[in-house]
Amino acid sequence: MTAAASAAQQHNSPAWLRLGKPLLGMLLFAHLFWLYVALLQTAPGEPLHYYFDAPVWLTMQGLLALVLTRLLHRRLPKRQSRSAQYLQTLLLGMLLFVGLMTLLQQGLEQLQGYPFSAMLLLKNMLMYALLQLLVAGFVLLLEALAEQRRQAEVLLMAQKTAAEQQLQLLQQQLDPHFLFNNLNVLSALIHKNPDDAEDFLAKFTAIYRYQLQLQATPLVTLAQELAFAQDYLALLNQRFANSYQLDIKQEGLCPEQFLLLPGALQLALENVVKHNEASPAAPMRVQIHRDALQLVISNPIRPKLYAAQSTGVGLKNLAQRAQVLLKRDISVSNTQGMFCLSLPLADAQQPSNQQISNK
């Protein structure tokens, strides 16, 4: 339950229930306090002089101080500085409480015929001020902690909303060339080989449907991504005459156990096609294997003579999604003639990850 919901529930609860706990706590404190005072004032060997009505009066005074503090805190004009707001409540509450209690005490003493004593009056006023200071300080401390929790929850919700909005924007950055290139291939196949065109259309439809579903799915299983990658490679080979091979090392892969950013393998394969030479005589072999909590995609580097200039948007998009969802980075390396892209994986057995994937 959030702090705001808890505060609303507490405000709607009956008055006797809201005052019950403070009353019991203050009554217990008053009895312990007067017992301590009685022990200090009783000499060794003498009977303990403990007046049971004293804690009751102290409890009533404490409740008055509590109600007065809460009333002032809610009704006084709000200030920009919390410290100034609390100080204003504390000082005004102390002034009102000491004034009310002093008037009440003097009135009772006059009715009972007690002589006026300035020293006793000053002593009682100091005691009232101390009591108000203790009660108001405790009440305002609780208010400050509750306000801090509320602000933390508001900040957390704002960060969550911003992260979700950022994720939606990132997932909506689908490459329009994917659609146009494959429609061109389909158009050519319709004239050359209608059977291949029908098979191509089925794969293309499944892939595009999967892409549309990605916009509402933060994480998918590794098994789903691998199946998608194989279908996508089939489309690439239709366009590029079987120039690409996919080598998936099944040993220790556990595709149903791990979650991955959706569309990550498509982007990896697109990156391979965009920057490397491949042909039926010298096909490009793309390897995929798991290394702990990373999925590693590697391929030999065969730079194209006339490759299009890379903008890096795809990998940047992938890196941002990895940070938003998994709080981890992707890794890119280029060593010994091999290009390696390492993607973070999440364990599907962990409850938090399951909640993300089923969102």
Q: Which residues pair with 334 in a beta bridge?
A: 339
**Is the pLDDT confidence value at 240 over 70?**
yes
What pLDDT, on the 0 to 100 scale, is given for residue 178?
A: 63
How many Å is the Cα radius of gyration of the chain? 37
What pLDDT, on the 0 to 100 scale, is given for residue 358?
A: 43
Which of the two residues, 83 and 189, has the higher pLDDT score? 83
Task: Note the pLDDT tens digit of each residue in 66-123.
Answer: 888 888 888 888 877 888 888 888 889 889 988 888 888 888 878 887 888 888 888 8
What pLDDT, on the 0 to 100 scale, is given for residue 248?
A: 94
Which of the two residues, 50 and 327, has the higher pLDDT score? 327
Work out the pLDDT band at 246, boundaries 50, 70, 90: very high
Other beta carbons within 10 Å of 86:
19
Task: Note the pLDDT tens digit of each residue in 141-155.
Answer: 888 888 888 888 877
Other beta carbons within 10 Å of 295:
24
Helices (H), 172-312: 176-192, 194-214, 222-239, 264-275
**Is the pLDDT confidence value at 346 over 70?**
yes
Other beta carbons within 10 Å of 94:
20
Q: In what order do the strands lie in the sheet with 258-260?
A: 220-221, 258-260, 346-347
**Is the pLDDT confidence value at 189 over 90?**
no
Q: What is the pTM of this model?
A: 0.52
Contact 223, 348 (CB under 8 A): no
| Mean pLDDT, rounded, for 228-237 | 87
| Mean pLDDT, rounded, for 52-76 | 81
What letter represents residue 58's amino acid? Answer: L
Work out the pLDDT band at 161, boundaries 50, 70, 90: low
327-333: long-range contacts, CB 8 A cutoff, minimum separation 24: 331/294
Range with the poorest average pLDDT among 194-208, 239-253, 286-300 = 194-208
* Gap between the Cα atoms of 39 and 42, Å rounded: 5
What pLDDT, on the 0 to 100 scale, is given for residue 311?
A: 59
* Gap between the Cα atoms of 92 and 97, Å rounded: 8
Which of the two residues, 181 and 295, has the higher pLDDT score? 295
* Gap between the Cα atoms of 93 and 143, Å rounded: 15
Q: Which of 135-139, 246-250, 318-322 has the highest mean pLDDT?
A: 246-250
What pLDDT, on the 0 to 100 scale, is given for residue 18?
A: 59
What pLDDT, on the 0 to 100 scale, is given for residue 1?
A: 47
* Gap between the Cα atoms of 100 and 323, Å rounded: 60
Other beta carbons within 10 Å of 128:
20
